[in-house]
Amino acid sequence: MRSRFAAWAACSLLAACAVSACGGSSGNGVASKTPDQIVTAALGAVDAAKSAHISGSVTSGTSPITLNLDLVSGKGGRGQMSEGGLGFKIEVVGNEVYINGSPAFWKHFGGAAAAQVFDGKWLKAPASGQFASLAQLSNLHALLGTVLSTHGNLTKTGATTVDGQSVVGVRDTTQGGTLYVETTGKPYPIEILKGGTAGGRIVLGSFNAPVSLKPPANAIDISKFK
């Protein structure tokens, strides 16, 4: 699930975000920039942000993936994710990943015994090795940096509004997906849409809102089970 979500994001979030230069007539000036300049502006806005919220759902294969995460620059993140109904809570604090799975989650990955033993409990593991990609999903700069690293052919879709905010839209005609970027204030990417069976909707917002990260108490160290 971790790698599939990152791949989906790289097909839509990056493609669209890299092209946020579409037309608008006033505001922060992104409408008049080239796609490359817009990418730089969008990345600069995200890099300067202390925190952000990302939520939505996508489809990978036949499995729906949902996420609802608060991300803190340089510190980690927290929230919930699920794939195919297998949900879990996640907290990434510094160099540690904490996971609290639903009974269905633990039963799927560890059997009935694991579901019974770990029900309601947090597991702790290093934010490296097999958990590196999961930890990256809770890293605001790493996630968006990966997403913006490649894209296909880009086309401007023009100025519009998303939830009352003035935005410009850019579509990746090669990989699909449209990103909407604010045209007033900071040029934040605020929505990604992609149609089709592998599509979905991702919303970004609450930039710089206060987020408190704290390691869950009494977490079980996963290294004890090796």
Handedness of CA 125, 128, 133, 138 (dihedral sign): positive
Q: How far is CA 146 from the centre of its chain?
A: 11
Distance from C-alpha of 18 to C-alpha of 38, rounded to nearest angstrom: 7
* Domain that residue 61 falls in: 2-225
| In contact, 62 and 41? CB cutoff 8 Å | no
For the domain that residue 70 is a member of, what is the CATH number? 2.50.20.20
Encode the chain (226 residues) as per-residue pLDDT tens digits. 444 544 444 444 443 333 333 333 448 988 877 776 777 777 788 889 999 999 998 876 677 889 899 999 889 999 999 988 889 999 999 889 999 999 998 888 888 888 888 889 999 989 887 777 777 777 787 776 666 555 677 777 878 899 889 988 877 778 777 888 899 999 998 888 887 777 888 899 999 999 999 999 999 988 776 5
Q: pTM of the predicted model, to two decimals?
A: 0.80
Closest CA to 7 of 44, 61, 53: 61
Across the beta sheet with 178-182, what order do the strands follow? 154-162, 165-172, 178-182, 189-194, 200-205, 51-60, 63-72, 76-83, 86-93, 96-101, 123-126, 220-221
Separation CA 43–CA 51 (nearest Å): 14
Token couple for 153: 């052919």
Crossing angle (nearest 10°) for helices 140-147 and 35-48: 170
Number of domains within the chain? 1
